[in-house]
Amino acid sequence: MPRSIWSGAISFGLVNVPVKLYSAVSRKTVRFNQLNGKTGHRIAQKRVDPQTGEEVAYDDIVKGFELTKDRYVLVTQDELDSLDPERTRTIDIEDFVDLADIDPVYYDHPYYLVPDKGAAKAYGLLLDAMRESGKVAIARVVLRSKEQLVAIRPAFDDVLMMETMIFADEVIHPQDIEELPDADELKVTDRELKMARQLIDSLSSDFEPEKYHDEYREKVLELIERKAAGEEIAVQPEAPEPTKVPDLMAALEASLAAVQGSDGGGGDAEKDGRKSSAKRSSSGGGGRKKAASKS
């Protein structure tokens, strides 16, 4: 079961809402250890001085910021600790903004905010007020000795979600990319745009996150199981490089024909059926939905 990683309170005017913080995601990656290919022994990572070749004790390691090559400013841990923000236990709301005003590039890591004991009513008040206003709260909170800018919004299953945010000076602006095409290169014809919109409409459906899987991770785990069982694996040849589309209009027409052909002429009916089914499952007999547990 998920465990709370922080507890405190949302500061909303003169109202404090005690909450607990839970991570909203559990990253699933396949981790490998580094081994000596000749002996099979696990490799140990050591901190070595490149000039003397000797291993450096952890207590002898200091932090240095490089000004120029081989010139550093040394900073002690005590000096850094003196700059730490005050370790408060509050999430201080500064502004309420429209959700559409926040570009997703600013979002970093999602968390759930769950009411602490005795705080359900105040929590529900904030949740309902934000849901009715359609606003997102921008706040600051200290997590792991670092002040974080966060966005708080109502999410599914009657819960507030808090997402840490990237600061504006950390976002790379597209205009800084040299290979970005200019406006003239991006121009298309009305006919090309109409075909592209038809293709998008043909491929449109309700978002069902459960149908998307990390296929690469599943293949890696399958490979490990097969090798652990003693099976010899044949290495597959590399996939060919994709070729450039010589005729954009021809590619659009072929793509649209392929989609319509796979629908068997009943693409719209099938799509409407999927949407109706999704709506029935989301309404779920009324009341508050229970999140399905996932492994």
Whether 206 is in a domain gets the answer no
**pTM value surpassing 0.75:** no
Whether 263 is in a domain gets the answer no
CATH value at residue 111: 2.40.290.10
Distance CA 158, CA 97 (A): 20
Whether 131 is in a domain gets the answer yes
Residue 136 sits in which domain range? 6-27+84-170
Whether 247 is in a domain gets the answer no
Per-residue pLDDT in tens (0 to 9) along the chain, 295 residues? 889 999 999 998 888 999 999 999 999 999 999 999 999 999 998 999 999 999 999 999 999 999 999 899 999 988 988 887 776 789 999 999 999 999 999 999 999 999 999 999 999 999 999 999 999 999 999 988 889 999 999 998 899 999 999 999 999 998 899 988 888 888 989 999 999 999 999 989 998 989 989 998 999 999 999 989 988 887 777 777 776 656 777 888 888 888 887 765 544 544 454 444 444 433 333 344 433 333 3
Number of domains in the chain: 1
Whether 107 is in a domain gets the answer yes
Residue 145's pLDDT is what? 80
- Cβ partners under 8 Å of residue 14, min gap 6: none
Residue 282's pLDDT is what? 38
Encoding tokens for residue 170?
Answer: 């950390």
Whether 137 is in a domain gets the answer yes
Segment (H or E) for 109: strand 107-115
163: Cα separation from own chain's centroid: 10
Residue 61's pLDDT is what? 94
Residue 11 pairs in a beta bridge with 16, 92
Coil, strand or helix: which one is 35?
A: strand
Whether 178 is in a domain gets the answer no
Whether 119 is in a domain gets the answer yes
Distance CA 111, CA 20 (A): 10
